[in-house]
Amino acid sequence: MQSRFIQGKAGAIHLSLFHPKNTTDSWVICFPPFAEEMNKSRKMMSAQARSWSSTGIAVVIPDLYGTGDSGGDFSDADWDTWCTDMLGLVAWIRGQGGKKIYFWGIRLGSLLALEVSKQLAGVVSGLLFWQPVINGQQSMTQFLRLRMAASMMDGTQEKVSDLRSRLEIEGALEVAGYELSSKLVSRIDELSMQNITPNAGLPVFWFEISSNTEKPLSIASKKIVDQWRQEGIDIDAELVAGDPFWTTQEITMAPSLIKRTTDALIANKSISEGESVFLLTDPEPQDFISEHTASFTCNNELLPAIVHPGKRAAKRGVLIVVGGPQYRVGSHRQFVLLARDLAEKGVPAFRFDYRGIGDGTGLLTGFDNISDDICSAIDCFQMECPSVTEVVIWGLCDAATAAAFYAPLDNRISGLVLLNPWVRSEVGEAKAYIKHYYVKRLLSKGFWKKIISGRFNLLQSLHSLRQMIRKASGRTDSPSNTSTKDIDMIINTPGLSLGHKMEDALGQFKGKLLFVLSGNDLTAAEFQQTVDASPRFQTILDQGNSRTIKMGDADHTFSRRVWRNSVATETVNWLKSW
């Protein structure tokens, strides 16, 4: 996989290129899904691209402007700009020798692929859709419901109609960490596959995921498929076994979908004869954006990275480690925006995918097994930014825990920024849930409205509370009571909780510590309980090299712009305080 930037209409467009060994004139362009669905889908996208490239097809996954690693902010995202950039990408591919060009749309990206293809009659060789969004307005309504669900948790109640009115009046609305413009929503609302028919003679492959492949396509999908067939379109539509990877909590793969999708294009691909190596015909533009791409290996696996140089002479840099089901971009692009803010303030930053995450090759073995990845990333960071002699690791959730585990092993690490560290245990989770969730529910207007309206299920709630109390009364393990054990031995000690492993690791680390804890997050609450229950852990947080910041109503990923900006500001201020 090769990573690079090209110039788009409004700014830099990031491309992930998966090319075969030999030259080819067969290319696939991915039209990615919308917002957080792209984060959840990234591993599947990368796996599919590699599958195609192994058969001799070149694949490019672009980040649309305002998304992923590309330039701009999501508030700058514009459907017509996306269309223009994708037309430009087709022209760029044709300049690389591409002749048979297929459009691969995922979810909302299917509508974008369909619309762009209408302007390229005779150029596009086929359309391939994964779980296509059929109606743009329905898709935007579902997205706005994320905001509605969040408001219900806060005890307020917002209707979709109210949100659409606000969007129209104010011009923008923050939803699940993304600042949505009214212009983008209005343009997507206009789109429907019912009103857009593929160009004549263009084959279409339509795949949907289902746990039961004996079922027919959904009624809405079947209606479009039947309509297109009546209009003479050659369309192959089928259900494939798998889980909805674009929406699951953890990274989910659908190998049957990858196999079927790969097979769909094998008969149509065209590979040049001979052993010539695949090469791009144009160099990457230099210095047209502040960041640049890089890659490195870890245990023979190839890992991509983005470097944000900051000041040339800066000695201290920040390594951002991925947590949860994210990749190097971060939930609602948090890591991209943080790295750009750090670089703007003169602090070099480095983002990367570790093995099994995002575009990184290899198997995902868990956050507690990425020490080699972090070490290799630091090596690459220092090669790209030679002035950096000391590194601060910035991690959220399980990445914070991974950073704590790694820090005592490497004397290049001078500090840690740990946000809502993951120390989950069944007992700790139950205690945090009782203390924070049930108390909050009792103070919620929505809770009492439910009781008054008769929609409150008392028996179900009592059963849930009883189960939590039972879990919370369980016994916890004892700490290792040593600060001299080998850290690898501590991390791999059977039966020792994450909290105690983290306590031991931080007890051996002599650098600076910054803890950032959200006020509306069970993960942060459980970490705080772990600290409160351990005098040694309290000592670690109370010593002179440690600082703790608590951020009021912020959620786990700091999804609102004000919270995200506050995290960036606190990080920069802390870095410059020592």
Domain residues of the chain, as ranges?
2-134+199-266, 136-190, 292-425+476-575, 427-472
Q: What is the pLDDT of residues 483-498, one digit of tens each?
A: 445 666 556 666 688 9
Contact (Cβ atoms closer than 8 angstroms) between residue 19 and residue 2: yes
From residue 370, alpha-carbon distances to 357, 366, 392 in Å are: 11, 7, 16
pLDDT computed for residue 58 by the predictor: 95
Helix (H, G, I), strand (E, B) or coil at 167: helix
pLDDT computed for residue 496 by the predictor: 81
CATH number of 292-425+476-575: 3.40.50.1820
Q: What is the pLDDT of residues 551-562, one digit of tens each?
A: 988 999 999 999
Q: How many CB atoms sit inside 10 A of residue 251's CB?
A: 20
Return the CATH fold of 2-134+199-266. Rossmann fold (3.40.50)
If you count DSSP H runs as helices and E runs as strands, how many of each does the chain have, helices first? 20, 18
Helix (H) or strand (E) holding 201: none
- Cα separation, 181 vs 170, in Å, equals 9
pLDDT computed for residue 326 by the predictor: 85
Identical fold for domains 2-134+199-266 and 292-425+476-575, yes or no, is yes
Q: In what order do the strands lie in the sheet with 26-31?
A: 2-7, 12-18, 58-62, 26-31, 100-106, 124-130, 204-210, 235-241
pLDDT computed for residue 273 by the predictor: 42
Residue 436 is given by DSSP the state I
Sequence-ordered list of residues with C-beta below 8 angstroms from that of 378, at least 6 positions apart, any chain: 319, 391, 410, 412
pLDDT computed for residue 424 by the predictor: 79
- Cα separation, 256 vs 413, in Å, equals 43
CA trace torsion 41, 43, 47, 53 (10° rounding): 90
| pLDDT-flagged residues of the chain (< 70) | 151-156, 267-289, 425-495
Helix (H, G, I), strand (E, B) or coil at 260: helix
β-pairing, 172-175 vs 178-181, is antiparallel
Structure tokens at 568: 């960036």
pLDDT computed for residue 484 by the predictor: 43
Helix (H, G, I), strand (E, B) or coil at 116: helix
Sequence-ordered list of residues with C-beta below 8 angstroms from that of 336, at least 6 positions apart, any chain: 68, 69, 306, 329, 330, 351
State pTM to two decimals: 0.86
Helix (H, G, I), strand (E, B) or coil at 492: coil
Structure tokens at 167: 């969007």
pLDDT computed for residue 288 by the predictor: 40
Q: Of 360, 352, 346, give the one whose Cα is nearest residue 393.
A: 352
Structure tokens at 182: 């009214």
